Chains A and B, each alone.
Chain A
Amino acid sequence: MANLKTLSTRPELLAGGHRMCPGCAEGIVVRQVLLASDKPVIAGAATGCLEVCTTIFPYTAWRIPWIHNAFENVASTMSGVEAAYEALKKRGAVTQEVNFVAFAGDGGTYDIGLQALSGMLERGHRVVYVCLNNEAYMNTGIQRSSATPLGAATTTSPVGVRMAGKEQHRKDLTAIVAAHDIPYVAQAIPGRWNDLVSKAEKAYAANGPAFLNVLCPCTRGWLYEPADTLEISRLAVETCFWPLFEVINGEYTVNYKPKEKRPVREFIETQGRFRHLLREENKHILDEIQAYVDYQWAKLLWLAGEGERPSKQPAQAES
């Protein structure tokens, strides 16, 4: 990985003065991902917090060429950009080596953007796709996505007499992406910049599509103090709620194993979106989340060649 001294000499490609919330992880992640590139970057973004907060006309925070098209299509848009680059390079109209990055939230990736992403991966475009995963449709006001974890309160999976937050486990999109057999897939967090930057470097170096799924705590949607963003992202890793791993040419590697795997409750109790799970009547949901985290962690270790295949899938929580 390029050392800190080298990174510090590179220009800031996302200008300050944008409109993201205090404590937003996305700006941090974007700056680090852009910094990690040793070549010029051309980026695209899906409709979402990042896009809206960085490009209120007549201002833009992007010091690089950048395109926003629509909500579900940053992957197909950047496929077109990359194809154009290849064509123009072939006829000598461009010579500079560049990197392409597509930014999208979990909404624009797990759900409405899944088709376009799958197409881009299947066709093998050389684009780094970064999912800024704050586990809900945050820009439209905190609605559930398929990335929202079990039990989390959102405006479309609220807490009430009949429901206690989201009733399904989150979708394992990283596994879906890995199933496309692309050169590089990884999960990361903003709270470990070293890990994130080196993963971004590997993504840029991939000879084909690369995918980074970055957990982005959201102070507004997860309900915690803005200053705690990085610490909460680290807690997600320490509890194995969001493992750090890579899939390089189909081979799984777990990057970090906590010396002491903390109970998921320690992650849960830091956020207002899970507050109702601390009530006695919802204990079964908390247990279900722990079982799910344990199973996924054991499965990940097994995929990485460490440990036995876990024996059963946890059942879905009943309301």
Chain B
Amino acid sequence: MPKTAMEGNQAVAYAMRQVKPDVVAAYPISPQTEVVQSFADHVAAGEVDTQYVAVESEHSAMSACVGAAAAGARTMTASAAQGIALMWEILYIAAGLRLPIVMAVINRALSANINIHCDHSDSMGCRDTGWLQIYAEDVQEGYDNIIQAVKIAETVELPVMSCLDGYILSHAMETLDTLEDAQVENFVGPKKSSLSLLDLEHPATFGPIDMTDFYFEHKRQQLAAFDGVLDVIKQVGNDFGKLSGRTYGLMEGYGLEDAEFGIIAMGSAAGTAKDVIDNLRAQGKRVGLLKLRVFRPFPAEELVAAVSHLKALAVLDRAASPGAIAGPLFIEVAAALYLKNSSVPLCPYIYGLGGREFAPALVEEVYAELPSIAGDGRQLFPVRYLGVRE
């Protein structure tokens, strides 16, 4: 397997090339731009046979993806922040029509104010759209996740967001192992469709109108489609492990098993936390991390099992939910722990909004506070903000 160095966006485009999408309909937006540019280069060089539709907005990008996927094409796109927000209406439709579209989300903050740097407000704003969400810690994962996302999407017939931190990973050059083209092609397999607009023998109506007598049943079916998804993600992660030597699951514990104090985080922050854990453990502190890889579906059972032994747990959100108790990740974790009768004291943190640097010192700050949180026990802690000037 060729080891190489690529920027995150290049790696995403490289994986897209290997997966061989039939249609890519995309619109540029920082920090995703290099994905579409790199992919366009692959098309222009004849390295992939994709119908590249240079649409005139993100709303049209997702609309064209819906049309293409309904016609049975392997369909991919990429976007970020305002682009995701603009296509928001169509995201629900893509999921509701059970279309296995794969979108790279190069996580960026939502306006106002306009900020092109990393946070998770864009993908978090989509947590009810019916899309699966997988987050990457580094460029290697960003590459690996695209390949797995296609396999997952086409197996469960639901759309998948493969999330990569904007600038921090998208524009960072890191070493990674890539797979051979043939390996990727065999892994994802040929595109199959259960229903297609191009099937003239069995004409189907996509997107009819539901009155009050059918919509609820259709939504119930859509919700039921999520039932086996976590198992599929794990299966695909295992199969990918056999192929590449890198096995993926729903989450990853780092120094967690014998930890007293833990952090839950998603994305590149997990990598920073791992570094700090190594240092603190060298000082004898029993600290650990739960890196959550899959946010949708939310893997409640496995997550609770992984953290229930902790004396205190910090949940790090890279997005806010104004008016809510805390950030979106915290609320899901808290619900899961409560329902499983776990008494782990839980503290909400928000960090890194608008690309605010998430330095190791901030991770140390969290671990330094966790013992007193443990002492206070379970309560409705107000949100703590890391790295903001109050």
Binding site for B on A (CB under 8 A): 40, 42, 44, 51-52, 55-58, 60, 62-70, 72-73, 75-88, 90-91, 93-94, 96, 98, 115-116, 118-119, 122-123
Chain B neighbourhood of A80, CB < 8 A: 23, 25, 53, 63-69, 71, 75
B376 within 8 Å of A (CB atoms): no
B63 touches A70 (CB 8 A): yes
Chain B neighbourhood of A77, CB < 8 A: 63-64, 66-67
B71 touches A81 (CB 8 A): yes
A65 touches B54 (CB 8 A): no
| A186-B16 Cα distance, complex, nearest whole Å | 41
A70 touches B90 (CB 8 A): yes
Q: Which of A69, A84, A96 contacts B207 (CB 8 A)?
A: A69
Chain B neighbourhood of A60, CB < 8 A: 205, 208
Interface size on B, residues (CB 8 A): 45
A67 touches B93 (CB 8 A): no
Q: Which of A57, A66, A86, A94 contacts B203 (CB 8 A)?
A: A66
Stretch in contact with the other chain, from B123-131, B209-217, B291-299, B320-328: B209-217
B60 within 8 Å of A (CB atoms): yes
Chain B neighbourhood of A98, CB < 8 A: 198, 200
Q: Which of B72, B200, B210 contacts A88 (CB 8 A)?
A: B72
CB distance from B183 to the nearest CB of A (A): 20
CB distance from B143 to the nearest CB of A (A): 24
Q: Which of A81, A86, A90 contacts B67 (CB 8 A)?
A: A81
Chain A neighbourhood of B67, CB < 8 A: 44, 67, 69, 76-84
| A192-B127 Cα distance, complex, nearest whole Å | 51
Q: Which of A56, A58, A94, A122 contacts B198 (CB 8 A)?
A: A94
B278 within 8 Å of A (CB atoms): no
| A96-B57 Cα distance, complex, nearest whole Å | 31
B54 touches A67 (CB 8 A): no
B90 touches A67 (CB 8 A): no
Known: A55-B205, A65-B198. A84 touches B63 (CB 8 A): no
| A85-B70 Cα distance, complex, nearest whole Å | 11
Interface centre among A42, A81, A115, A119 (most CB of B within 10 A): A81
B68 touches A73 (CB 8 A): no
A84 touches B57 (CB 8 A): no
| A51-B64 Cα distance, complex, nearest whole Å | 19
Chain A neighbourhood of B311, CB < 8 A: none
B208 touches A55 (CB 8 A): yes
